[in-house]
Amino acid sequence: MELRIQSINFDATEQLKSFTEKKVKKLEKFHDGIIQAEVNLKVVKPETAKNKEAAIKIRLKHGEAFANKVADSFEEAIDLCVEALEKQIVKTKEKKER
């Protein structure tokens, strides 16, 4: 799987990048047809409590999945996105198997 991480309005730390990579790669156990994952991390202005936005778009062999979440931290937003994507990927896989 090809993985691209883009940070908007800030510089992502290596720690955040490796956390993101680890979480997104876990999705491969739900579907072996993941071609590409695109992660956009953004600090939402103005500075408020919940201002960390994560958007993850995944290209599958037969379609794509997308999740966009806002939380207090990037880690939390990424976790929420990965959770939502797991459900979408499982649904897509089940539909294909019918």
User: CA 45: distance to chain centroid?
Assistant: 21
pLDDT at 78: 98
Taking each helix axis from N to C terminus, what angle separates 14-25 and 74-97, rounded to the nearest 10 degrees? 20
Q: Are 24 and 39 in contact (CB under 8 A)?
A: yes
Q: Are 27 and 82 in contact (CB under 8 A)?
A: yes
Instruction: For residue 27, give its domain range.
Output: 2-97
How many domains in the chain? Answer: 1
pLDDT at 32: 86
* CA separation for the pair 15, 56 (Å, rounded): 18
pLDDT tens per residue across all 98 residues of the chain:
999 999 998 999 999 999 999 999 999 999 888 999 999 999 988 777 899 999 999 999 888 999 999 999 999 999 999 999 999 999 887 877 77
Instruction: Assign residue 73 the CATH number of its domain.
Output: 3.30.160.100
What is the pTM (predicted TM-score) of this model? 0.93
